[in-house]
Amino acid sequence: MATYTGFISKIAIKEGRGSRGPWKLYSGRVEKEDGVEYDDWISFGFDKPNVKEGDYVKIETQADAKGYQKVQSIEILKNPPKAPASSQAAPSSTNSNVRQDSIIYQSSRKDAIAVLELLVSQDALPLTRAKEKAGQAKRYEEIMALVDKLTVRYFNDVASLRILDTVADEGANDDTIESHEPVSEEDDA
């Protein structure tokens, strides 16, 4: 005889059809007060149990010849202790990190597409010019590769908090940057 005290964490129903017609077999799991489930599934048999998920119960069982724990008695207990915090109740730091990374990735992808759209519209990308199907396929592959490359780059820039002081401008040096300062008339004299 075994005794399980805790919250009903899961009730499973297995349905089938036998020589006597359709049947339903009920079983369940019990979660201890500390939030850890007992290892055993408990068999309620073919009768629907008078408990539901979340009920605080004391269940006495007897193991059958196959080792299944069959319910002998169920008592719904009054004044249950505070239920353990569900893993779904508050996101863990890992879940929030995954979500934040997902947001950063989506934003990086959108930015990469916007940059490539601008470069293509200004004819600033060296893409394949062939008009045949093969050329179009090649252009598609080139653009998708660039989207992927820029997405990863933008994602890593944000994720690593890379700052402007540590990044050299690509293809730009002091010689190629034009000054847009107004020229005063005194300079001409």
pLDDT by residue (tens digit) across 100-121? 888 888 999 999 999 989 988 8
The confidence score (pLDDT) of residue 172 equals: 53
For residue 9, the domain's CATH number is 2.40.50
- How far is the CA of 62 from the CAs of 39, 40, 69, 70, 174, in angstroms? 15, 12, 5, 5, 84
With both helix axes pointing from N to C terminus, report the angle between 93-121 and 133-159 in degrees, rounded to the nearest 10: 140
- Tally of structural domains, the chain: 2
**Comparison of pLDDT for 126 and 150, the residue scoring more:** 150
The confidence score (pLDDT) of residue 183 equals: 53
Residues 98 and 69 in one domain: no
124-145 in b/e form (b: 16+ CB < 10 A) is: eeebeeeeeeeeeeebeeebee
Residue ending a domain, among 22, 46, 76, is 76
Percentage of residues of the chain with pLDDT beyond 70: 78
Q: Which two tokens stand for residue 6?
A: 């805790």
Percentage of residues of the chain with pLDDT beyond 90: 20
CB atoms within 10 A of CB 85: 9
Q: Which two tokens stand for residue 5?
A: 């005290």
111: left (phi over 0), alpha (psi -120 to 50) or beta: alpha
Model-level pTM? Answer: 0.43
Asked, for residue 101, whether it belongs to a domain, the answer is yes
Residues 6 and 72 in one domain: yes
Residues 102 and 67 in one domain: no
DSSP code, position 164: G
Asked, for residue 143, whether it belongs to a domain, the answer is yes
pLDDT in tens, 2-59: 899 999 989 999 998 889 899 999 999 999 888 888 888 899 989 899 998 888 999 9
Asked, for residue 183, whether it belongs to a domain, the answer is no
The confidence score (pLDDT) of residue 87 equals: 46
Residues 15 and 69 in one domain: yes
Residues 6+ apart with CB under 8 A from 161: none
Residues 68 and 6 in one domain: yes
Q: What domain range includes position 46?
A: 2-76
Q: Which of 67-71, 106-110, 160-164 has the highest mean pLDDT?
A: 106-110
Residues 65 and 24 in one domain: yes
Confidence at 155, pLDDT banded by 50, 70, 90: confident
**Is residue 85 pLDDT above 60, yes or no?**
no
- Pairwise CA distance, residues 35 & 86, whole Å: 8
